[in-house]
Structure 1
Amino acid sequence: MSLTSGMEWAPPGVDTATPSIARVHDALLGGTENFAVDRAVARRLKDAVPEVVNLLWCNRAFIGRVVDFLVREAGVRQLVDLGSGLPTIENTHDVAQFADPSVRVVYVDIDPMVEPHARALLGGDARVAAITADVRDVDAVLGHPELVRRIDFSRPVGLLAVGLLHLLPDRDDPHGLVRQYMDVFAPGSHLAASTMLATPGPGANPKATALEAMLQATMGTGYFRSREEITRFFAGLEPVEPGIVHLPEWRPDERLPGPLDTWEELLLGGVARKR
């Protein structure tokens, strides 16, 4: 993203002086769609928790297993991916359409860089769209013409809120936001979510303490929650086995070799069905 003058080019509306969650995520994964300010934050996060890159790949692997389950086993044929971030590899639509090419996917992210990059990646696939919107504005997201064109609210929808909810403070009422989305969707819809786990007290996970502090220091966000608070995101829904667990434990592709590492205990996630 650098010009020969050393200045960084950005699409209209993109602030290159302020770090973005989507671009920091891209920098941590070795992508190129980021700026110096994002790379600086990525370095600080890795200094605080060197396994943060492993954590992100663990989260992406969870998305892949979830999407495969939703399409192959739950019969869901339309997905809304909230806080999707910049495209990488094995994106939601890649996994979904490998299982069934008819699946429709809408990516939603507040970062204005996501939509044009996703559009270029999609190559005109009419079944998939990326929209720029704030997930906290439920009406704007669900009323967006590109989403309405692809998502039939009378049929089951898979709502993905993976790696998103710990970015929303309590004042944004993230539990209420999840309910608002799920209330609109038809019975048979599924919620898939993962978020950072807080472990206060004598048994606190030092990785969680370090990462939460660094996220708030660098990005002004990062709100880790207790197991009870995370479970409440799925309130009123029917949990899919194995329930709300550490991500490596959710339907792993192969048997886990042994106890989880400390960094693997940072995220909880699961899937639940609307009756």
Structure 2
Amino acid sequence: MVNERSSWVPQGVNVELPSAARVYDYLLGGGHNFAADRQLAERFATALPGSRDIARLNRAFLRRAVLFMVERGVDQFLDVGSGIPTVGNVHEIAQAANPEARVVYVDNEPVAVAHSQLILDGNDRAGALQEDLRNPEEILDHAVTRGLLDLDRPVGLLMVGVFHFVPEDWGPRALVDRYRSRLASGSYLALSHFTADSRPVEMAAMVEVMSRSKDPIHPRTRAEIEALFTGFELVEPGVVSTADWRPRAPGDGAAGPERDQIYAGVARLP
């Protein structure tokens, strides 16, 4: 394992303990993962066939959600649970559409944050910080956030593929409420989340696989995911599969059962 350590791996990171961020990076075809992550990802893909397409569809939803917000005048984004940067990061999408757009990435995975900081070097409109999503106040009051985002104006809050790592005893709805209470009117929330509504047997197998990582997964029903948007107004088409949320191109969709494994939605704060 020592040979896998390189300049983008912070000291103290246990490369033998798989993490969801690095598993997702591998499924998306990224290169910032270790042998333990790749082994777990392959077990993940065996338990839940179509996992690479599921990851691709989730990433495509992120792109469309960001563009949707930019087209409605949002020019600052807070990406909580941002993961390891791969092609099509939020700042790339937003700043291509609006060069003045500002982005703050937040993750609790040190590899994700370290690599984010490397690729953002020289970009004065984007930054990254290491923090747990359970600490909204620390995130929103962090010097990086305060230096880049104006919380008195609308913000695009991105929680894409992260809340299925939040167990019930963390109070997921209360957590979203704490973020919402700090956002200005006109802000948006984009959220996607694994569900067991589709292929429950395969999802149970995937949950068992991820229980061996530091990031167990907690799938939720459509109703439970819709409840996370309480206080926001869902935009059409509501909470649907990632493939069905305002597709723009053929690559945004899928024909197999993997299309229904993650629900997604975007909502506006009145």
TM-score relative to the length of structure 2: 0.93
Provide the residue aligned with 1:177 in structure 2: 175
Q: Secondary structure at the match of 1:62?
A: helix
Provide the residue aligned with 2:67 in structure 1: 68
With over 3 angstroms needed to count, the CA separation of the structure-2 counterparts of 1:84 and 1:210, relative to structure 1, is same
Q: What is the distance in 2 between the residues matched to 1:22 and 1:257?
A: 22
Per-residue CA deviations over 1:33-67 (Å, capped at 9, x if unaligned) read 11221111111111212311111111000000000
Q: What is the distance in 2 between the residues matched to 1:259 and 1:67?
A: 21
Provide the residue aligned with 1:47 in structure 2: 46
With over 3 angstroms needed to count, the CA separation of the structure-2 counterparts of 1:52 and 1:259, relative to structure 1, is closer
RMSD: 2.0
- The question of whether the paired residues in 2 share the 8 Å contact of 1:207 and 1:263 is answered with no
TM-score relative to the length of structure 1: 0.91
Q: Secondary structure at the match of 1:181?
A: helix
2:207 equivalent among 184, 205, 212: 212
- Greater relative contact order (Cα 8 A, min sep 6): structure 1 or 2? 2
Q: Which runs of 5+ in 1 are unaligned?
A: none
Q: What is the distance in 2 between the residues matched to 1:94 and 1:108?
A: 16
Regions of 4+ moved over 3 Å = 6-10, 203-207, 217-220, 254-260
Task: Report the AA paired with residue 29 of structure 2.
Answer: G
Q: What is the distance in 1 between the residues matched to 2:63 and 2:176?
A: 21
The residue correspondences of 1:33-44 to structure 2 (distance < 5 A) are 33-44=32-43
- The question of whether the paired residues in 1 share the 8 Å contact of 2:57 and 2:252 is answered with no
CA drift at 1:116: 2.1
Q: What is the distance in 1 between the residues matched to 2:54 and 2:253?
A: 17
- The question of whether the paired residues in 2 share the 8 Å contact of 1:71 and 1:99 is answered with yes
Task: Report the AA paired with residue 146 of structure 2.
Answer: V
Identity %: 39
Q: Secondary structure at the match of 2:54?
A: helix
2:126 equivalent among 125, 128, 140: 128
Further displaced range: 213-222 or 88-97:
213-222
